[in-house]
Amino acid sequence: MNISYTGKRPELKPDLQRKLDSRWDKIAKLIEWKGQREAHVVITSERHLINVEITCNFYDHPLVGAGSSDDYFIAAQTALEKLEKQAIKVRSKFRDTKRAPKDKSADGVESAVATAVEVEEHEAAEPIVRIHRVNHHERRKPMTLDEAMLEIDGRQYLVYRDSEKDCVSVLIRRSDGDFDLVEA
């Protein structure tokens, strides 16, 4: 990773420098994409406070990590942590939105037509089952069994509220022409 420094870079003890180098190696592995392995570090000092700002590009997004402390090592660690969090966030967004399984056929239209034909063949083999919902919110008045017999006309069934027993009842027309009454 190419790291360019601007400002006065203080000398660190070898163990602290190794810690910073290991953090830089981790970030370098994280943001390595199409040769974009450059970072720019700006070090400024204001009285007793040292500011470290690190900028780099990752998937065409500028990442900026900033840290401030009276010690250069702590400020650099803070800036590197922030930079790493941003890189992980951008990488996860890229992976979630840009990756999709590739179509194995030469032409995606052919596979879509083939699956549509398979669905039509499957639907033709099995009868379509329909569910009819009864709307109880129509505020219909309760009926007697005789009124329900008149109301059923050509339908297969009728769901109604029985006025004598105050319960929901279902009147079903059988295949032989007779009726079944189911009371709840």
Per-residue pLDDT in tens (0 to 9) along the chain, 184 residues: 788 888 888 888 889 889 888 888 888 888 776 565 788 899 999 888 999 999 988 877 888 999 999 999 999 999 999 999 988 888 888 777 766 666 555 544 455 444 555 555 555 566 677 776 666 666 678 888 888 888 888 888 888 888 888 888 898 988 888 889 998 7
Is residue 7, in this structure, part of any structural domain at all?
yes
Task: Output the CA torsion 85→90→96→99 (10° steps).
Answer: -130
Is residue 111, in this structure, part of any structural domain at all?
no
Tell me how many domains the chain contains: 2
Q: Global pTM?
A: 0.50
What angle (nearest 5°) sits at the alpha carbon of residue 43, between those of residues 38 and 45?
170
Is residue 51, in this structure, part of any structural domain at all?
yes
Range of the domain at 165: 136-183
Is residue 106, in this structure, part of any structural domain at all?
no
Query: What CATH number is given to the structural domain containing 59?
Result: 3.30.160.100
Q: Same domain, yes or no, for 17 and 82?
A: yes
CA distance 56 to 64: 7
Is residue 119, in this structure, part of any structural domain at all?
no
Q: Same domain, yes or no, for 61 and 14?
A: yes
Query: What CATH number is given to the structural domain containing 170?
Result: 3.30.505.50
